[in-house]
Amino acid sequence: MSRGAATDALRHPRDLVLIFGNPLDAKSAAFDGFDPELDAVWMGEAAEEPNHVWAHQANIALFIAAMRHFRDGLRKRGFTVHYRALDDPPNTGTLAEELLAVASRLTPQKLIVVQPSEWRMEQNLNTAARQLGLELEVRACRPTAAV
């Protein structure tokens, strides 16, 4: 693929892989078939998320640090990662609205995610995909090795 075609593909990726903070796994099924020249990753921080499950502020800070570290690792591997930080001026505070905004701008052909750990998140993703007129491919989460 030519450099120009790869650049255009990243502005309008074939697949947009959605990564949330749980799990952060470079071997996730979400990356099966991922092509850095055709596909992109989206990650986001949202102020609303700690309101659904109580967490200490120190845990929230560690969670965000882990997400940002994972994002940086993906970028070092040559992945295009669209990332919305909490302190980005246009951040709406909700993952669903952030996803709608980025997917509307990027116009991917498909959204890919591993099975969300919360029913609420799965419903939000299904609603967003319908609003965007995009297929949402939900992949099974692979078991991780015991530590």
147 pLDDT band, cuts 50/70/90, is very low
- Give me the percent of the chain exceeding a pLDDT of 70: 84
Strand arrangement, sheet containing 81-84: 81-84, 40-44, 15-18, 110-114, 135-139
What are the pLDDT digits (tens) for 23-35? 899 999 999 999 9
- Alpha-carbon distance of 147 to 7, in angstroms, equals 39
> Bridge-partner residues for 111, per DSSP?
16, 136
| Beta-strand pair 40-44/81-84 | parallel
Q: What is the pLDDT of residue 142?
A: 78
Domain locations in the chain?
3-139
134/120: higher pLDDT? 134
**Architecture of the domain defined by 3-139:** 3-Layer(aba) Sandwich (3.40)
pLDDT at position 2 over 50: no
